[in-house]
Amino acid sequence: MTSTSPHPRPTSFPPLERRAPEAVGIPAAALAALADRLQEEGLDPHALLVARGGVVAFETAWAPYRLEQPALVYSVSKTYTSLAIGFLVDEGRLGLDDSVGDLLGLPNPHGITVRHLLTMNTGHSPEQIERYGFSPAGLLATAPERAPGTRFAYNSPATYALSAIIARLAGEQLTAYLRPRLLEPLGIGDRWMSSVDGIETGASGFHLTVDDIARTAIMLGAGGVFGGAQVAPRAYVDEMSRVWSDTAEFDGPAAAEDEVNDWSLGYGYQMWRSRHGYRLDGAAGQFGLIIPESDLVIAYHGATLDTQATLRAFWAFVDAVAVADAATVDAEAAPTSKIPVPTALHVSHDTWDSRADLGILRQAPFDADGLTLTDTADGWTLDLPGVGELKVGGSWTETEVEFEADAGAAAAGKQAGTSGSVVDAAGIADPACSSHAAPTRLVLATRGERRDDGSVLIHIVDTTSPHRAIVHRAADSGAGAVDAGWHIPPLGGGWEILRVPASVLTSERADTARPESAAPAGNPGDPAGNAAAPAETTAAALLLDMDGTLVDSHEVVERLWRQWSEGHGIDPARTLSIIHGRQGQDSMALLLPDRPHEVNLAENRELLAAETAQTDGVVAIPGAAALLAALRGLPHALVTSASLALAQARMDAAGLPVPSLAITAEDVTRSKPDPEGFLAAARALGVDPASCIVVEDSPNGIAAGLAAGMRVIGIGPHAAGTGATWVVPDASGIRVASAEPGIAVTIGA
């Protein structure tokens, strides 16, 4: 049995529909003006997606940020915690007026309820909240200054207490509980949320793309419906955006004189009311805006302390759409009634273009002790305290910095204000959720320039968060003397709290190739378009995997395996995490270790027959046809875990020729990650395995190629971090030509 690589997005729903702006009644000029305004006002925009009627009309990212890169969204996380509470209510497992103490097994002398937590109306003052921090026991024990339900105060520890309730009642972490109920139905891929004392914070720490936020906002705006199905409980969704707390006196982001302050319009169940509609809202400018009156959704990542200015730009855009609607010739025509154009407006920007407007926040602490900047032949070497040595050039260069598990790495899962925990009292800590014992990493992009006056400017961007550091060296300061600081500082610490678990897929990007001499796998090119230099090498033969490498068959594979899992009482997510690249009977043996092998073989034959018969939606991976055409007459082979019949069916469906040598399931006794298939292909071609290059997409296949002693070109978003020699987005990143002896191979741009 064969499968495509683990897909970054569950396949319950396809990608959001995309149309040109005018097809959904949005003037393209208004979108361009919005993007320009965000940049020109120095608001440091990172990613933006605009949808109308559930259809994406515009999307853009500012390099080095990418639309497909999940990034820290701070308090946008709170809305997902609220939705988890809504599911528990819908399942009859709690009521909003239940005692928090009863739910957590803690004393609750002041009668604080779930509703008080949801609405941030526990009665505590900001000073009290700061003192008890992320401790549900401390929250319940602290006598509030006012009666619960009578005073709003922004209260992240209250949201953390909600996450603790979810973990206790559900027996699993917040995001695990949401995975089958919300995240998979919305088509949101694997994501990570930071934890405190083994419990996901709920209040912050979720890492999402703007597409993830847009899907959630579209669902909320439709009363919990997405893709024609009721995803979230309608009654709870309807209540989430109501004004449950008066925020008129909230000391939030400042508004201009005589301007309506968007933080004074009321608070619902972990959502803010807005001048238009309501919103998911995270620190420094992470937004999901739901605007029912115009059927608009805006999803956004950015980094500014002037978040009211960001909303001001959005409201100007909303007003422009309203003006366009009013000017429609046929007043009865819906905005989506025009002839559709198939693609959304998708443009690229670069944060580097705004560097003159992005300065250092002087009052924010920054560890610059020991920081040095050294000139090199092609740029600079930056030794950054808490991070290490980084290479800097004249275009964006992304580097993944790995950190071993140690006490310092524990801070990656922490938030400011931790004091005590519900863990000891309630016994619900989940060590697997904590990053304390796991290796971590930073994903950093660097860029620099030498200015006309001889000074040097360097930006270091953490692409999994809103944050960047800026380094400036004056012309006459010498090699080591620099000025450095945060543009917008992380909440609660420095580089250490921005680390993400090394085991977590934080990027769904399509990496460009890395040279063979590069140390870390997956050295991507510049997202602004300045790609890394292509790698050139030779090979005795190319050995190509099929699913995920040449053909995309994930919809069929995952549908059938989900059905198989459900029939055997196995979590489909667990099944999908191990099947890719393996033969079916081997996957079954891992999932049902006590079952006779004969049963696995029989069931796998049934699955193979179903897969062979179902080829609708099987298409060629970009560049696959051109690569196979260029390989005609050159030594190459197909090496797949599929049967010969299945391989032929899928290649035919994708319009691709099957190479004259195909090593299929019938030719091996052990499937990937065992190297048997690749070694068999090299033997059949009569070439040295060490001179071969494998082209693979799945971690199992890449491991098999490396175990065979071969170099590996990893294809697609899941090849990064697997140890592949090079990583490219798809087969179009590989070019071949005849060489003596063998094949000349160019990898990358």
The CATH number of residue 725's host domain is 3.40.50.1000
Residue 417 has pLDDT above 80, yes or no: no
When pLDDT is cut at 50, 70 and 90, the band that residue 586 belongs to is confident
Residue 332 has pLDDT above 70, yes or no: no
Looking at per-residue pLDDT, the higher value among 97 and 517 belongs to: 97
The least confident of 41-50, 255-264, 414-423, 485-494 is: 414-423
Check whether residue 362 and residue 497 sit in a common domain. yes
SS3 724: coil
The encoded tokens of residue 376 equal 């090199």
Average pLDDT of the residues in 200-223:
98
**Interatomic CA distance for residues 50 and 199, integer angstroms:** 33
* Residue range(s) defining the domain that contains residue 470: 358-411+418-501
Q: Flag whether 160 is in a domain.
A: no
Average pLDDT of the residues in 300-326:
96
Catalytic residue among 295, 547, 552, 697: 547
When pLDDT is cut at 50, 70 and 90, the band that residue 156 belongs to is very high
When pLDDT is cut at 50, 70 and 90, the band that residue 559 belongs to is confident
Q: Flag whether 342 is in a domain.
A: no
Check whether residue 638 and residue 728 sit in a common domain. yes
Identity of the residue numbered 563: Q
Identity of the residue numbered 658: V
Q: Flag whether 729 is in a domain.
A: yes
Average pLDDT of the residues in 201-205:
98
Average pLDDT of the residues in 500-508:
63
User: Is 36 one of the catalytic residues?
Assistant: no
Residue 200 has pLDDT above 80, yes or no: yes
Check whether residue 423 and residue 548 sit in a common domain. no
Check whether residue 491 and residue 640 sit in a common domain. no
Average pLDDT of the residues in 531-544:
81
Q: Flag whether 625 is in a domain.
A: yes
Q: Flag whether 637 is in a domain.
A: yes
CB neighbour list of residue 85: distance below 8 Å, 6 or more residues apart? 94, 96, 114, 118, 162, 165, 166, 236, 269
Q: Flag whether 656 is in a domain.
A: yes
H-run or E-run covering 324:
helix 307-326
Q: Flag whether 600 is in a domain.
A: no
pTM over 0.75: no
Tell me if 692 sits within 8 A of 710, measured CB to CB.
Answer: yes
DSSP 593: T
Q: DSSP E strands: which ranges in 121-250?
A: 195-196, 199-200, 207-208, 225-226, 229-230
Check whether residue 480 and residue 549 sit in a common domain. no
Check whether residue 497 and residue 540 sit in a common domain. no
Catalytic residue among 211, 212, 462, 545: 545
Check whether residue 620 and residue 695 sit in a common domain. yes
Check whether residue 546 and residue 462 sit in a common domain. no
Residue 230 has pLDDT above 50, yes or no: yes
Residue 82 has pLDDT above 50, yes or no: yes
**Interatomic CA distance for residues 201 and 219, integer angstroms:** 23
Check whether residue 434 and residue 495 sit in a common domain. yes
Q: Flag whether 566 is in a domain.
A: no
User: Is 545 one of the catalytic residues?
Assistant: yes
Give how many domains the chain has, as a whole number: 2
Check whether residue 456 and residue 545 sit in a common domain. no
Query: pLDDT value at position 192?
Result: 95
Query: pLDDT value at position 535?
Result: 85
Query: pLDDT value at position 136?
Result: 98
Check whether residue 547 and residue 470 sit in a common domain. no
Check whether residue 619 and residue 492 sit in a common domain. no
